[in-house]
Amino acid sequence: MMKYYAAMLVCAAMLALSGPALAQDAGVPQFQELFNGRDLTGWVNVNTAEDTWSVRDGLLVCSGHPIGVMRSEKQYENFILHVEWCHMEAGGNSGVFVWSEGSVAEGKQLPKGVEVQMLELDWVNQHKDKDGQPAPIAYVHGEVFGALGAVTVPDNPRGSRSMSAENRCKGQGEWNTYDVVCVDGVIKLAVNGKFVNGIRESSVRKGYLCLESEGAEIHFRNIRILELPPGMATPEQTAAVVNP
C-alpha cells in the first residue's frame, strides 16, 4: 500500500511540475506525442495487415482486421499514458498493452504484457454466459490484466483480472479518455477523469506499448506519454528488445 501511495505522489508531483509556468524549463518532464496526426511515425506493425492501421482526418484508425497489434518503437518503464479512443461498432473490442513484448509468440495473435481493455458497451449483450446473463457492465471498460504469461495482482478481482469499480465508459461513436499510470509494477487507470481500477505486483515492468486490433473499427487520438524516472526493473521483468 505504501508503494502505491508513493507512486501516486511521484506522479502527482510530475504533473504539477509540468504546468505552463514551468514549460520553458528543459529539465522538467513534459508529455510527448506518440501520434502526430499525419502518419504512423513511431509505430511498428507487428502482425497485422498493411491496411489495418491508417490515418484519417487527424485520427489513428484501426480497421480491426486481422487480430493483432501495432507497437511503439521504443520501450517504456515508468510513465503516464494518455489515450483517447472511440469505438465505431456496437460491441467492438480493442485495448492497449503496456510493458508488452515487442513480438507475438508463434501460434498466438496477441503479445505477452498487461492489457488495459477497451470494449464497447454492447459487448456484454453480445457475449452472454451459458445461462443467458450478460457480464457486469463494468467489465466492458478498463479491465486490467496480465496476458499471455504476464502475472498481476488485481485491485478489484474478477478471477485473475481487475474489473473497474465504476462504469464510466461511453458507447459507440463517443470518445473515451484513459490515463494509465505505470510505476514499478503498479498500474492505476483513470477512465474519463476518475481513477477506477488498477493492478499491482506485475511480473513485467518494462516493455513496449501496443495498440490492439480485435475485430472492430476503433479510432484513437491524443496519444501522449510522460516518462517518469526509471525504477528497478530486472532483466527478467523487461521485454526483449526488438529492432524496428
Residue by residue, DSSP assigns 154-182 as: ESSEETTEE--SS-----TT--EEEEEEE
Q: Name the residue ranges covered by the structural domains of the chain.
A: 32-237
How far is 11 from 14, CA to CA, in rounded Å?
5
pLDDT attached to residue 19: 52
pLDDT in tens, 154-180: 999 999 999 999 989 999 999 999 999
pLDDT at 207 over 90: yes
Which CATH architecture does the domain made up of 32-237 adopt? Sandwich (2.60)
Minimal CA–CA distance to 65: which of 51, 77, 82, 55?
51
Which pTM value belongs to this model? 0.88
Return the bridge partners of 190, or none.
Answer: 179, 195
Query: When comparing pLDDT for 133 and 207, which is higher?
Result: 207
pLDDT in tens, 44-98: 999 999 999 999 999 999 999 999 999 999 999 999 999 999 999 999 999 999 9
pLDDT in tens, 103-157: 999 999 999 999 999 999 999 899 888 899 887 777 777 899 999 999 999 999 9
| pLDDT-derived band at 238, boundaries 50, 70, 90 | very high
Return the bridge partners of 162, or none.
Answer: 144, 157
Minimal CA–CA distance to 221: which of 37, 54, 24?
37
